[in-house]
Structure 1
Amino acid sequence: MQESYSVLYDDGRRVLQKFLLSRGVSEDESDEIVQNLFVGILNHWSRLQFNSASAWYGYLYESCRNGIRHAAKNPNPSSPLRETEDHRIDVHGIIAKVLDRERLYNVADEVWLGAEPEDGHKRCLAAQLHFIDGLSPEEALKVVAAGQPPIQPDDFLEWISSPWVLRKVAFNELYISSDRLCAEILGLESWSNDEFDRIWLHAKRNDPELVAIGDWTCIEVDFILMRYRAGIPFSLALAKTAKPLSRERGLEIHDRCRSRYPFVKKMINLWGRTEGIPFRDQALGANSLWKRLVFQYYVLHELPQDDILERISPAADVAGYRIRNINTWIANRLLDDILSWRAKNDG
């Protein structure tokens, strides 16, 4: 029981704290709400039953809403909470997002990347080794097939160059998790949750202008981790650092962060390595790949549109695909694509 509770606690704590902080709940109140929630879950563990991911997350967010209401009725003078009505949670929308999440992402792959071939995993790995890591066909085949190549080296390029394989490799390269992006920005070669927590705590507890890591000061690291790890909106992150930042300073930090984004560099590398491949333009220069990335960042990370565009638009430009507005995609087209797929495949 202890092991399963710990897993649920670690996952739920991160999700709920990010949500609460993004709604303007103070860190102290956020910690208190989450701690009280999980103490209650532990005390009533034997009587609680969650038959699906939707039930579990629905319970968490509904309980979180009650915690926010309580905090609003019993305000802490240091809390930025305003009216309770400003912080209503769309539980049904959240449940829809987490419902059978693994299945949802598999469907998204098929909708926008295409149907995976029978040996898709081997093809994708071989393409990754060849196009990204620079291995020769012979070397890549040895790794993929453990000494028993499924094809001859002369047929290698054709085998790894289907639109599905190219889109899948591109997606794997261009989708970058929040923690990984933070590591890229801060110049970390390796990282873990504990390491980020240690860095963040150090940044919050020390002189704001003290160098924290690399060429970043403590207040800059605090701002970066709020923006990119916790997903807190720009204007709110400015106010929540230990010493509030001016908008000009925040924009300066933001520009420095963008200069360290890896997305364009990765796309230039992939685009160059696939030069001459027949399906390259079809796979990388059409909207399917970019819709899949928008879906991932919007549903999994709940990023605002501007943040998503910063990640994908410059990379799409490399492939000759122009993206300047994703509002219509998010508003209806992504959902329409999913529903159309479901109508055809699920009956």
Structure 2
Amino acid sequence: MILDSLHLLFFKNYDEASLQFSPHINCFVGENGSGKTNLLDAIHYLSLTKSAFSAADAQCIKQDADFFLVKGKFLGPNNQAELIQCSLRQGQKKVLTHDKQPYERLADHIGRFPVVLISPYDTDIIRQGSEERRKYFDSLISQLDHGYLELLIQYSFLLRQRNALLKQFAERHSFDRDYLQVLDEQLVPAGQRLTELREQFLVSFIPVFQRHYTELAESREQVSLDYKSQLPGADFAALLRANERKDLALQRTTVGPHKDDYVFLMDGLSVKHYASQGQQKSFAIALKLAQFEVMAERKQHKPLLLLDDIFDRLDERRITRLLQLVANHTFGQIFLTDTHLDRTDRVLAGLSDQIARFRVEQGTVAAV
């Protein structure tokens, strides 16, 4: 599956842009702040229906415009075209269409066109809190397993209902255990199954990740992931009952898979607290390379690979490893950003005869 073309209207700093892509390597070159990363983000929208960088969809509408549109044409193995369009008008719901037919639910699109993004912000997965790590793995597993995504949506909906009920109890100085029990009876099986699926995923993911770290870092450190959850070996229903008074006092649910964490370890120590910046970068990139490999294997086709600003942010050793993978045709279609065209040409020389180059200048983009 490749992205053949992209068309934008009033997306971030672009009034309009139309691009035709190479099936292998595509380079967006321009000064910082010119809009290179916004093009990667538009591709991210086509795959995951949301921005990789903006918290709210409305932030992606160009200033003084009242809507944005991102449209892409994907080509399958037999050159069969599939048109994906994502649009948002101020004050309205986001609309996603597949061959001009709107999705009833955006979730039904997730996983159809898998994507992996490697960016300077990847170490946030390590440095920030547990929510960042849960979001990363939830997104990864959801692209692979639609059943997991459905379960996650169900659990999140029930959790919001339960938290709203706890808040209502506090505001009204009342308590209805029967109503709470009805929600818990639905929350418990969903939460237990989420935990099981997360555990099962890591069994196959961790060895792939460890291999990529070893190849990338060329070091002897032993890395791993430790899944921290309250549920394995415990009765979720009993945990909810045991924490009932605490939940009522805090007006939120304090136990369950929404509190899980993934602890990143190097030689048995926390990567967040003890690893160097270089080791953290290698750890984060190894996660993304493992993600790519697992997705390619499970989906039977290679995800789109988005590389944002890697030449400015990574050292020569890590860039060399990525380019070795490019040269070995490990990756399929690649989209990358850089600030210097001559550097891009030098680094990619000999890697492919299918390279498309685009010059980006303050919201305009043109083939070079």
TM-score category of the 2 structures, normalised to the smaller one? under 0.3
Structure holding more strand per residue:
2
Task: Compute the TM-score of the two structures, normalised by the length of structure 2.
Answer: 0.22
Taking structure 1 as the reference length, the TM-score comes to: 0.23
